[in-house]
């Protein structure tokens, strides 16, 4: 049974060890066949060509080549039911005739099945060399010429058994050496897999050869009768293999199922432990597949999954296993992987393959997938944990829209360390361990501070100050989200009120995630904070990340509109990290756009980043939006973003985020308290002047 998704017929690249092996084996086999035919001589060959027995055997060989007994594994090789007839010719007439008949049969069967030329040539050579070794064993005890048929009797059967063993070993080595090179695994591992099954099948087929010889000696019409027992053997073996295949493969796609994935992974882990190697497991989930199923129906969705299966199997390395776990979730086992970078290369290749446009039912589809990677022994010691870690990484890739993610413990919401941290976070909210730090935002035209961004930190009792990436993702997925947001708003409004009462009338910006925006109590919390601390709406600014808008625009946009009705300014944060287009901001109450630091860092040394930022800033200005550059770290970057048209900037060049006391001291030291009031009471534009920062970067 041929695996429909197998890529084994793809020829080896010229110059590789596998190509050299194919070439040398093919040449050796062809030379042996030609030399043996020359030794036979043309006149003797003509005699054999007129014998009906040879033609009957040729027909049986062709039929047998077309109906091989499939191996238990796609990589295990098949046992052709032609073997009793071709090996009978080795016994009866020797190599020249047996090799020629087998070569013609392999050629015709290969062409019929559409095999690649290199595969057909290798098969012919493999049989010729194997039959040559078997014939040599017989010739050692019973020298004979092809014209004199030999029917083994008594002790001659011992030599037949030895010749059959020589054939089996030679043929096994020739085939499995190619498999080992192709799949880049040790030869002994390939040889030992399913060895008992292959030995049993070959033994049954080879044991029929002496019976065929006896039938040949009595009457050629007895030979075709072997078709029936061989047909029964073929049917029985095929049924067994089919059941085995169905039990281990997905019916829709033909890929391995979870059962086979577990088995292969356990084998790979056992071998990797012995050889101190890495094993990789990739978990892949299609984006927006449910929409296709719900809109176009399950038949279209099924064809889409079949296309995905085909692309995946033709994009992995030799020896890798692709499995379908259910729905639109797939797994790829990398039995041998050098390191995380190599696993990422495979994942990137899979995404590129899936990104090719697909047309179904007259519609074009753009496939995208999120892939999570986990490695043995770095991330997990067994299959279950490896799968769990890959699943965590996959969902991180899906949430953050990064495409591919390697498992990272600090992003695992289910790890013991994170569960412990989560318990401490509940206490931190009660005991006021969360603290807001602030970073100035500086206008580039006159170098005055025009706003501050509030950034949450956790003063952990044992671990010191923890940055937001250590705990905010965990908060966003828990019931603590509302309490956390309330605490951030409360602290920010309280500090802003103190500053405004002291004459530091700078607006303070708060970051809001998608989940916070979808909280129906958020507008009430903000309005309550403004009212409680007697703050004007212009004292507060709300920054919405680009990813939040991309994740669920239909729900997020109404939330933004309701917040804007409070009179606070809304800004788009982290622009460039998602797939949001500025044109979609038209009609939204957004006044500023903050260009992500990943672009700003490369505006000097990367022409592409510079072009992207320049084009984006030009469009912002056209739409009446102010551009703010995030993450500036040196004077060259400041000059670059100023030249590109950015209105303001923030980053460590001016100062890192500081606690309220430190940033107040920094403002008093480097600024003038006579701050100009905001130009608009609605809070939709920035102050024209503010506090002037230092002309050179300083660290308070």
pLDDT tens digits, 230-276? 888 778 777 777 787 788 888 888 899 989 999 999 988 988 888 88
Tens digit of each residue's pLDDT (9 = 90 or more) over 501-518: 988 899 999 998 888 888
**Distance between CA atoms of residues 555 and 545, nearest Å:** 14
Identify the structural domains of the chain with CATH numbers, from first to last: 17-248 (1.10.1760.20), 258-411 (3.30.70.270), 434-670 (3.20.20.450)
For 319-404, where are the alpha helices, taking DSSP H only?
340-355, 383-400
> How far, CA to CA in Å, does 537 sit from each of 16, 520, 542, 552, 661?
70, 19, 11, 26, 23
DSSP state of 152: -
pLDDT value at residue 74: 53
What tens digit of pLDDT does each residue of 169-226 get? 999 999 888 888 877 777 877 777 778 878 888 888 898 989 999 998 888 888 888 8
What is the model's pTM? Answer: 0.52
State whether residue 221 is helix, strand or coil.
helix
Confidence (pLDDT) at 488? 94
Helix, strand or coil, per DSSP, at residue 506: coil
Q: What is the DSSP letter of 256?
A: B
Query: What pLDDT sits at residue 458?
Result: 92
Average pLDDT, the chain: 82
pLDDT tens-place string over residues 413-468: 666 666 677 778 888 888 889 999 999 999 998 888 999 999 999 998 888 898 88
Query: Which residues are registered as beta bridge partners of 365?
Result: 358
60 near 183, Cβ under 8 Å?
Answer: no
């Amino acid at each position: 049974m041929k695996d429909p998704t197998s890529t084994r017929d793809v020829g080896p690249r010229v110059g590789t060890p596998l190509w050299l092996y194919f070439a040398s084996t093919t040449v050796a086999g062809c030379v042996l066949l030609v030399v043996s035919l020359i030794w036979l001589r043309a006149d003797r060959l003509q005699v054999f060509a007129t014998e009906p027995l040879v033609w009957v055997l040729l027909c049986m060989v062709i039929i047998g080549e077309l109906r091989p007994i499939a191996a238990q594994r796609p990589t295990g090789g098949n046992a052709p039911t032609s073997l009793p007839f071709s090996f009978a010719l080795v016994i009866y007439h020797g190599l020249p005739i047996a090799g020629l008949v087998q070569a013609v049969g392999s050629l015709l069967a290969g062409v019929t099945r559409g095999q690649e030329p290199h595969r057909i040539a290798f098969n012919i050579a493999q049989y010729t060399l194997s039959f040559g070794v078997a014939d040599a064993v017989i010739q050692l005890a019973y020298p004979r010429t092809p014209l004199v048929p030999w029917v083994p009797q008594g002790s001659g059967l011992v030599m037949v058994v030895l010749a059959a063993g020589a054939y089996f070993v030679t043929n096994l080595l020739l085939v499995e050496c190619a498999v080992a090179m192709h799949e880049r695994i040790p030869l002994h591992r390939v040889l030992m897999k399913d060895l008992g099954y292959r030995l049993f099948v070959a033994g049954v087929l080879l044991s029929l050869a002496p019976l065929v010889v006896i039938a040949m000696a009595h009457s050629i019409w007895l030979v075709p009768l072997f078709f029936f027992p061989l047909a029964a053997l073929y049917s029985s073996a095929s049924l067994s293999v089919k059941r085995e295949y169905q039990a281990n493969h997905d019916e829709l796609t033909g890929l391995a199922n979870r059962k086979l994935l577990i088995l292969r992974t356990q084998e790979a882990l056992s071998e990797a432990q012995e050889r101190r190697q890495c094993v990789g497991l990739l978990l892949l989930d299609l984006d927006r597949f449910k929409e296709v199923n719900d809109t176009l129906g399950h038949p279209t969705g099924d064809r889409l999954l079949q296309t995905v299966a085909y692309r995946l199997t033709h994009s992995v390395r030799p020896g890798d296993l692709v499995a379908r776990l259910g729905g639109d979730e797939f797994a790829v086992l990398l039995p041998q992987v050098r390191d995380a970078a190599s696993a990422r290369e495979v994942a990137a290749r899979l995404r590129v393959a899936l990104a090719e446009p697909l047309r179904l039912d007259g519609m074009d589809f753009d496939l995208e997938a999120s892939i999570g990677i986990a490695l043995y022994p770095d991330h997990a010691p067994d299959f279950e944990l490896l799968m769990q870690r890959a699943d965590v990484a996959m969902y991180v890739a899906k949430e953050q829209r990064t495409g591919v993610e390697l498992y990272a413990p600090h992003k695992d919401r289910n790890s013991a360390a994170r569960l412990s941290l989560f318990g401490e976070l509940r206490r931190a909210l009660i005991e006021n361990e969360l603290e807001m730090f602030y970073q100035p935002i500086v206008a580039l035209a006159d170098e005055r501070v025009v706003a501050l961004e509030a950034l949450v930190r956790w003063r952990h009792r044992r671990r010191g100050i923890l940055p937001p990436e250590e705990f905010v993702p965990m908060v966003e997925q828990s019931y603590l989200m509302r309490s956390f947001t309330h605490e951030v708003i409360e602290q920010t409004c309280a500090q802003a009120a103190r500053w405004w009462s002291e004459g530091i009338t700078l607006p303070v910006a708060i970051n809001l995630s998608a989940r916070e925006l979808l909280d129906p109590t958020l507008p009430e919390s903000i309005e309550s904070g403004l009212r409680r601390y007697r703050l004007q709406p212009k004292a507060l600014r709300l920054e919405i990340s680009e990813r939040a808008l991309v994740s669920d625009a239909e729900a997020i946009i109404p939330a933004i509109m309701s917040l804007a009705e409070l009179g606070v300014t809304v800004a788009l944060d982290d622009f460039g990290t998602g797939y949001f287009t500025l044109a979609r901001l038209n009609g939204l109450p957004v006044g500023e756009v903050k260009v992500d630091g990943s672009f700003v860092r490369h505006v000097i040394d990367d022409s592409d980043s510079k072009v992207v930022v320049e084009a984006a800033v030009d469009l912002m200005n056209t739409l009446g939006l102010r551009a703010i550059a995030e993450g500036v770290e040196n004077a060259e970057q400041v000059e670059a973003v100023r030249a590109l048209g950015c209105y303001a900037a923030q980053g460590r060049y001016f100062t890192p985020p500081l606690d309220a006391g430190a940033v107040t001291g920094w403002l008093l030291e480097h600024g003038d308290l006579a701050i100009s009031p905001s130009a608009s009471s609605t809070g939709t534009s920035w102050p024209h002047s503010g506090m002037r920062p230092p002309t050179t970067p300083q660290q308070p």
